[in-house]
């Protein structure tokens, strides 16, 4: 295995991880921001108040984007295993 191949595999793994986690992290960020604004408006300073809405939104996003995320991960893994012999020879 060459250094370039190792760097490419690492970059692909990080890119796939970022693509898969983006919908969940984005939903949690937006939900946290909305709850924080509502807490600032109502002056309720409860740290655990944002936890339940985030969990609900993440569950909904996971149900909606889960098949897409699984498809991305499956394509990445299948491609990795199909080219394993080529990677080892290089």
Average pLDDT over residues 43-66: 91
Residue listed under structure tokens 């990677």 = 87
* Pairwise CA distance, residues 26 & 61, whole Å: 10
11-54 confidence digits (pLDDT tens): 999 999 999 999 999 999 999 999 999 998 998 888 788 899 99
**Cα–Cα nearest to 23, from 58, 50, 73:** 58
Q: How far apart are CA 55 and CA 45, in angstroms?
A: 19
User: Is the distance from CB of 28 to CB of 57 less than 8 angstroms?
Assistant: yes
Q: Which residues, including other chains, have CB under 8 Å from residue 86's CB and lie 6 or more apart? A: none
pTM summary value: 0.80
């Amino acid at each position: 295995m060459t250094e370039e191949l190792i760097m490419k595999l690492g970059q692909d793994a990080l890119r796939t991880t970022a693509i898969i986690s983006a919908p969940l992290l984005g939903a949690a960020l937006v939900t946290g921001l909305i709850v924080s604004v509502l807490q600032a408006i109502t002056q309720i300073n409860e740290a655990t108040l944002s936890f339940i809405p985030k969990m609900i939104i993440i569950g909904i996003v996971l149900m909606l984007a889960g098949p897409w995320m699984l498809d991305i991960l499956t394509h990445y893994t299948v491609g990795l295993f199909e080219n394993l012999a080529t990677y080892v020879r290089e």
